[in-house]
Amino acid sequence: MSDVLIVLIPGGETPSRSELAALGFGLKAAGLVGGACDALLLGPNASSAAAGVAEHGARTVLVGDHADLAKPTGEAHAAAIGAVAKSGGYRLVAGPATTAMRDCLPRVAARLKAPMASDVLALGECDGSKIGITKPSFSGNLLADVDLVGPAAVATCRASSFDPPAATGAAAPIKAAELPATLAHARKKFVEMNRTPLERPELTEADTVVSGGRGTRGAEGFKLLEELADVLGAAVGASRAVVDAGWMPNDFQVGQTGKVIAPKLYIGCGLSGAIQHLAGMRNSKTIVAINKDANAPIFEVADYGLVADLFEAVPALTAAVKKHRG
Amino acid sequence: MKIIATIKRTPQRDTRMKLTPEGGLVTDQLQYEVNPFDELAVEEGLRLREKHGGEVIAVTVGPAGLSEQLQTALAMGADRALRVDTDQPLDPLQTATALAAAVRKESPDLVLMGKLAIDAENGQVPLMLAELLDWPHASFASKIEVDPAAKIARVTCEVDGGLETVEVGLPAVITTDLRLNEPRYASLPGILKAKKKPSDVMPLAEVADLPEQGLKVAAYHTLPPRQAGEIVESVEELAARLIAKNLV
Ligand SMILES: Cc1cc2nc3c(=O)[nH]c(=O)nc-3n(C[C@H](O)[C@H](O)[C@H](O)COP(=O)(O)OP(=O)(O)OC[C@H]3O[C@@H](n4cnc5c(N)ncnc54)[C@H](O)[C@@H]3O)c2cc1C
C-alpha cells in the first residue's frame, strides 16, 4: 500500500500542461511514500491521451473508457475511480483541482473512508501513517500544513504549483482499467454542456493573462482588454463583479472560487484586488496593476503599478507592445 | 417539499487572520457569520419553499455558539433548526457522517449546501454526505428548478469550460455557487420571530459509525510576502519595464 494513483479526465487527445503537472505531483508523492505512480485516464479522450502520458514516468497507464463516461457525471467518475482505487490498494488517489475532479473525488474519499486534501500546493513529510501537505485556507490568506492520517488518502492538487515531468524516453505499458458494468447513478442524468466559445488561450494554460474588473464598465471596456490580449497572445480573465454583472462568462472568473492561475505575466485592469481575487492570481510571476485609485489593494501585490484610467492606459499599452513587436 | 440547508460559521468574509507564534489561529477577537455559500443555500431553500410549499430546516454540526448562525437562518425565514452538538473539531468525513445522521432522521427531499466553506476551503462535505447516503448530487449550482411531483431537480452547474445542466432525482444534495441568488437580509420582525422557532439538538453520541479523525491541521503560515513593487509613472515606462524583462 504505497502506490499513488493519479486520475485524469483528459480534455484533449494529447495531455495538457496542467494534466501533466498533476502527474508530476503524483510522481513526487510516490517518491515520498516509497511507491510507484500509476495514471488512470477516464473518458472519451482517455485512449488517445494515454500515449502522451505514458512517456512521462508513470509505472502503468490505465485507460477507463466506458459508455457511462461518454456523458459523464461526478457519480460515474466516482464509481470508476473507486473501483480502480480499491482493487489497486493505493496509498494516495489524486487528480488536478478541476471542477470535474472536485465533483467526484470527495465521493471517492467517502467510499474509501479516507481523509482528503483539497487544492494541494506542496507535499511535506510523509511516512507509513500520514501524508503531509500544504494547502490554502481562509480565502487563500493563510497556508495550512495538513496531515492526512490513515492507510489511504485522497487529494486534488493545484496544477500550477507542480512541474510537468520531463519525458523519460521509455513508455509505460497502457492497460484497460477494470470497471464495474454500470457506473451511472440510477437517479442522475447528464443533460447538456454549454461550452463557452474560446477565442483565446485557456486561462489555466496561458503564459499571459489580461484580466478586468468592474472598472471596465462593461463589455465595451472589455474590448480594450481583449485587444491587448490579442497582441500578447494572452488569455482573458475577470473579477467576480464582472461575471456577476454578466459582462463575461462564469468560467473567466479568477479567484478563490474561480480559476486559480499562475501565469508568467498577469495584467489586472480596473479591479480592486479583493482577497478573494488575489487568492486566484497572487502566484503569477509578474503582476501588473492598472487602476485609477492609488489606494487599491491590488497595488500591494503588483510588481508594476500604474495609477491611471484604463480607458487611456490600456489602448496606449496595446500600441506600445505592437510598436515593439514591429 | 422538505428542504435542509446546512450551515457552517466562518470568520467574517474579509477578515485577515492572525496567527500565534506556534502557527495556531488567534480566535478571541473573531467575528463570525454564516459561510457565504451556505447563505445562498438558505436563500434558495426559502425560494423553493415559497414556490412549492413545505419547510426549510437549518442544520449544523458544532458547539452551542453556532446557535447564533442558526438564528440568522431562522431570521431569514427558515422554519426550524437542528444542531448536532459537539465541542470537538471534526474533519470533513466526520462532519459528513454527523450530517448524514441528521439527514436520515429528517428524511428531506433536498439538501442544499454551500459548495465551499471559506475558512477550511475543502469543499468536500457535500459530496461525502451524498456518497454516505447513496444520493445523487449536483455541484456549483447557478440555477435550480424543481419539479416536486416528478421528484426531479434540473440544475445548471458552473464548471470549467462553461455551464453544464444535469438532472437529479430527489432526494439529492445540491451545492450552491455565487450566482445562484442574492441572499435576503434578516428583517427585524424576522429576528424577533426567530427566537420562538423550534431549535433541536442532537448529541454527537447518536451518530453511529463516526470515523476516526483523518485530517489534522498541524499549523498555519502566512503567505510568503511578495517583493515590494514599483509604481511606474507612465504607460511608456510600464512598456519599457515589460520589454526589458522580455515579458511582452
Ligand atoms: C464568498 C466570496 C467569494 C468570492 N470569490 C471571488 C472570486 O473568486 N474572484 C473575485 O474576483 N472576487 C470574488 N469575490 C468578490 C470580491 O470580494 C470582490 O467583490 C470582487 O473581486 C470585486 O471585483 P472588482 O475588483 O472588479 O470590483 P470593485 O471592487 O468594484 O473594483 C473596481 C476597481 O476599478 C477601479 N476603476 C474604476 N474605474 C476605473 C478606470 N476607468 N480605470 C482604472 N481603474 C478603474 C476602481 O478604482 C476599483 O479599484 C468573492 C466574494 C465572496 C464573498
Write the CA distances from A158 to A40, A82, A235, B163, integer angstroms.
Answer: 18, 21, 19, 22
**What's the rounded Cα separation, in Å, for the pair B244 and B246?**
5
- Over the stretch B41-85, which tens digit does the pLDDT of each residue have? 999 999 999 999 999 999 999 999 999 999 999 999 999 999 999
- A223, A240, A301: residue to mutate for ligand 1 pocket, most atoms within 8 A of CB: A240
Query: What is the model's pLDDT at position A133?
Result: 98
Q: How far apart are CA B96 and CA B155, in angstroms?
A: 22
Residue A78 forms contact with B (CB below 8 Å): yes
Encode chain A (326 residues) as per-residue pLDDT tens digits. Answer: 799 999 999 999 999 999 999 999 999 999 999 999 999 999 999 999 999 999 999 999 999 999 999 999 999 999 999 999 999 999 999 999 999 999 999 999 999 999 999 999 999 999 889 999 999 999 988 999 999 999 999 999 999 999 999 999 999 999 999 999 999 999 999 999 999 999 999 999 999 999 999 999 998 899 999 999 999 999 999 999 999 999 999 999 999 999 999 999 999 999 999 999 999 999 999 999 999 999 999 999 999 999 999 999 999 999 999 999 88
Closest chain A residue to B240 measured between Cα atoms?
A: A320
Q: Alpha-carbon distance A175 to A40, whole Å? A: 10
Q: Which of A130, A170, A133, A168 is closest to A150 using CA atoms? A: A130
Dihedral Cα A79, A2, B122, A145, nearest 10 deg: 180
* A224, A260, A276, A293: residue to mutate for ligand 1 pocket, most atoms within 8 A of CB: A276
d(Cα B54, Cα B110) in Å, to the nearest integer?
Answer: 11
Q: What are the tens digits of pLDDT across the range B110-158?
A: 999 999 999 999 999 999 999 999 999 999 999 999 999 999 999 999 9
Q: pTM of whole model > 0.95? A: yes
Instruction: Count Cβ–Cβ pairs < 8 Å, chain A vs chain B.
Output: 256
B192 CB-near residues (< 8 Å, 6+ apart): none
Say how far apart CA B134 and CA B83 lie, in whole Å: 23
Q: Residue B14's pLDDT is what?
A: 87
Ligand 1 centre to CA of B226 (Å) is: 20
Neighbouring residues of A50: CB distance < 8 A, sequence distance ≥ 6:
A41, A61, A63, A174
Give the angle B5-A259-A268 at the CA atoms, nearest 5°: 125
Instruction: List the residue whose alpha carbon is closest to atom 8 of ligand 1.
Output: A255
Confidence at residue A69, expressed as pLDDT on a 0 to 100 scale = 97
Tell the burial category of B227 from Cβ atoms under 10 Å away from its Cβ (0-12, 13-18, 19+): exposed
CB contact under 8 A, A251 and B162: yes
Q: What residues in B contact A269, CB-CB < 8 Å?
A: none
CA distance B173 to B175: 7
Nearest CB partner across the interface for A196, out of B126, B162, B178: B162
Nearest 5°: phi and psi at B221?
Answer: -130, 155
